[in-house]
Chains A and B, each alone.
Chain A
Amino acid sequence: MLLRLEQRPEVSKSMVYASPLIAVVLTILTAMVMFALLGVDPVKAIATFFIEPISTLDGLAELCVKATPLILIGVGLALGFQANVWNIGAEGQLIIGALAGGGLALAFYDHSSIFLVPAMLVSGVIGGMAWAAIPAWLKTRYNTNEILTSLMLTYVGLLVLSYLVHGPWKDPEGQNFPESRLFHESALLPILIDETRLNVGWLLALLVVVAGWLLISRHIIGFQIKVIGMAPMAARFAGFKEKRLIWLTLLISGGCAGLAGVIELSGAIGQIVPSISPGYGFTAIIVAFLGRLHPVGVFFAGLLMALTYLGGDSAQITMNMPNAVIGVFQGMLLFFLLASDVLIRYRVRIGPHKVQAEVAE
């Protein structure tokens, strides 16, 4: 073979950051080729996708609204993934969190109280945590694979939502649409900029980024998470409790997802509808990887991914392109990222092996 992978003596720190950029560039290039093949002007398509949506203040605000759940969930997942805890059921935790918060809003739909929003947020976090606690309990108690259980629970969560909006929580005055009542004013998150949907949730997302960053880079718990992910035996040697970390990472990621759900509901939607999230819980997996499993990286990756949602919408409106193209973009981006990540540990050499002049010590 002409191309060979050669292990680097140490991981390349610059490639850790360069790899996502390479992946983004490759994705855009591939997308342009794809558009050209579909007979669409590639430059115009890219502009529609990535520039048009954020050329207005409203667009920028909308970007932050879409990025909020992605960043929130992404930070939580990143912590778990670093510990090799693969919670891929964030979508379900988001839904249950949203239902826990939304249920409160419905229960007090004719009351006005400044405590309602905080109570909804707390209840959303608890809801998400509760849903994530199931895989945590099953994994620590019965050794059950959390990937499969958390995913199965997502399907269950979607059905719970469907049951509630079709049944008990359906708006009694809503002409039989599967939707809840509209939330009362005091159940809605305060808006930050008038005439936009940008709300307090964005600030909470920023707060979570900072907290996550402190935890992972300076706190002993973050250290334990990293050690258990990289070398579980070394974690046992150091006396770190594996089960505790499984619980912790699942509860954190579940809580973040639940928070994202309730923010989406009371900040962006304002009532309970059959489809609360366009797959934020799954996209956040890509966000976490693209952000190098680091809270600050997740912040930027969340903005980028939010842009693909906006771009997908604008491409649908102006170019009549199906919305599903978003998923293709996102999947492709993750592929390219995983492929470029090989450069972190290996260098690519061309041609046959060359003898090096260095001598072993």
Chain B
Amino acid sequence: MSVDWLIPAILTIVTAATPLVFAAVGETVVEKAGVLNLGVEGMMIMGAIAAFATAVSTGSGFLAVIAGAGAGLLLALIFGVLTVYFQSNQVATGLALTIFGLGLSALIGHSYVGKTFEGLAKLDIPGLSDIPVIGPLIFGHDGLVYFSVISVIIVAWFLNRTRAGLLVRAVGENHDAAHSIGYSVTLVRMGAILFGGAMAGVGGAYLSVAYTPLWVENMTAGRGWIALALVVFASWKPWRGFLGAYLFGGITIIQLYAQGMGVEVSAQFLSMLPYLATILVLVVISRDSAKARVNAPACLGKNFHVSV
């Protein structure tokens, strides 16, 4: 086995993991604030189509990513208004978000099927990017890959080292107490929900403008749900979510390379791997219920209402 094979494999892992990193890190913040948004899949797919449509019409990858974030944010806004202000059930609302997002994206995407976009530009630093092995591995990605790593660093720092992050955790831990010592649970949660939506949107944008720069209906293929599982797997810790995403990226490449290596298994069975792996991971992490609950925000999924 030569290095020639290894480098593209690692690059594939990176591209498969990056959309999951965005979605999972965003959802981590949402859940830390005590909100369970099951609409990640819907927000991702809307991010994907918004980004792709923008990319095709403007040709700008940057604008495409902004549009993806905006689309995710708008969908999250619906979720936030319904759950935070209208007290609707978070599980039901998240499902509605996914159904709506899949439908709307298909509707908008109808006229974009078959169009193409050249994809996000890869970083190219003369000298550095040409170094064998290290060059392509560290200096050869598109901007979003670096941004995903930076966002993990920022979110981890925000949650653990800043007062605002402490407040987000406090709201997720005990919203009544946070309210009675004078914080606006509503505002904190809305902020977290919108951030999560924007991040899911960027994750979707990555799929349609970098991973496979074209539009296919349902192209997220359950990645939003896998991101939700990753948050649980990571015990609500951004860095573990990042590692989890790369683990899943690794499983994806088994799929791609197994056939190339002459393994006699139907494509369908290989495609099942990420889903089966998700189930396996959930079992491993949840089987000790006491342990699994330690890091879960105590108010996760509970609505807050105060009569003023």
CB of B140 within 8 Å of the partner chain: no
CB of B257 within 8 Å of the partner chain: no
CB of B63 within 8 Å of the partner chain: no
B279, A152: Cβ atoms closer than 8 Å:
yes
Instruction: Give the residues in chain B near A174, CB-CB below 8 Å.
Output: none
CB of B266 within 8 Å of the partner chain: yes
Instruction: Give the residues in chain B near A145, CB-CB below 8 Å.
Output: 232, 282, 286
Instruction: Give the residues in chain A near B110, CB-CB below 8 Å.
Output: 322, 324
- Closest residue on chain A to residue B229 by CB atoms: A148
Interface pick from A46-54, A110-118, A159-167? A159-167
B268, A159: Cβ atoms closer than 8 Å:
yes
Those of B235-287 within 8 Å (CB) of chain A: 266, 268-269, 271-272, 275-276, 278-279, 282-283, 286-287
Those of B75-127 within 8 Å (CB) of chain A: 78, 82, 85-89, 91-93, 95-97, 99-107, 109-110
Beyond A159-B271, A286-B96: 6 further Cβ-contacts under 8 Å?
A149-B279, A152-B222, A324-B109, A331-B103, A334-B99, A335-B82
A152, B93: Cβ atoms closer than 8 Å:
no
A142, B283: Cβ atoms closer than 8 Å:
yes
A346, B87: Cβ atoms closer than 8 Å:
yes
Q: Given A163-B268, A342-B86, do A328 and B103 touch, yes or no (CB 8 Å)?
A: yes
Q: Of B78, B275, B305, which contacts A7 at CB under 8 A? A: B305
A339, B86: Cβ atoms closer than 8 Å:
yes
A interface size (C-beta, 8 A): 49
Main secondary structure of the interface of B (DSSP, over half): helix
B contact residues vs A (CB 8 Å cutoff):
38, 78, 82, 85-89, 91-93, 95-97, 99-107, 109-110, 217, 221-222, 225, 228-229, 232, 266, 268-269, 271-272, 275-276, 278-279, 282-283, 286-287, 289, 292, 305, 307-308
CB of A177 within 8 Å of the partner chain: no
Interchain Cβ contacts under 8 Å between A and B, 17 examples: A138-B282, A147-B38, A148-B228, A148-B232, A151-B225, A152-B222, A155-B272, A282-B99, A286-B96, A289-B92, A328-B103, A328-B107, A331-B97, A331-B99, A338-B86, A339-B82, A342-B88
Give min CB distance, A316 to chain B, whole Å: 11
Instruction: Give the residues in chain A near B99, CB-CB below 8 Å.
Output: 282-283, 285-286, 327, 330-331, 334
Instruction: Give the residues in chain B near A184, CB-CB below 8 Å.
Output: none
Contact with B along A22-33 (1 / 0, CB 8 A): 000000000000
Contact with B along A198-209 (1 / 0, CB 8 A): 000000000000
Those of A287-313 within 8 Å (CB) of chain B: 289
Instruction: Give the residues in chain B near A155, CB-CB below 8 Å.
Output: 221-222, 272, 275
CB of A40 within 8 Å of the partner chain: no
Main secondary structure of the interface of A (DSSP, over half): helix
Q: Of B86, B91, B93, B292, which contacts A147 at CB under 8 A? A: B91
Q: Of A5, A322, A326, which contacts B305 at CB under 8 A? A: A5
CA–CA, A180 and B139, complex, Å: 50
- Closest residue on chain B to residue A325 by CB atoms: B107
A contact residues vs B (CB 8 Å cutoff):
4-7, 86, 88, 138, 142-145, 147-149, 151-153, 155-156, 159-160, 162-163, 166-167, 282-283, 285-286, 289, 322-332, 334-335, 338-339, 341-342, 345-346
Instruction: Give the residues in chain A near B269, CB-CB below 8 Å.
Output: 159, 163
A335, B107: Cβ atoms closer than 8 Å:
no
Q: Of B38, B271, B282, which contacts A149 at CB under 8 A? A: B282
CA–CA, A286 and B97, complex, Å: 12
Q: Given A155-B222, A156-B276, A335-B100, do A285 and B95 touch, yes or no (CB 8 Å)?
A: yes
Instruction: Give the residues in chain B near A332, CB-CB below 8 Å.
Output: 100
CA–CA, A324 and B221, complex, Å: 17
Q: Of A5, A159, A162, which contacts B87 at CB under 8 A? A: A5
B88, A341: Cβ atoms closer than 8 Å:
yes
Q: Of A151, A160, A327, which contacts B104 at CB under 8 A? A: A327
Q: Of B88, B93, B271, B287, which contacts A143 at CB under 8 A? A: B287
A152, B275: Cβ atoms closer than 8 Å:
yes
Give min CB distance, B23 to chain A, whole Å: 14
Give min CB distance, A149 to chain B, whole Å: 5
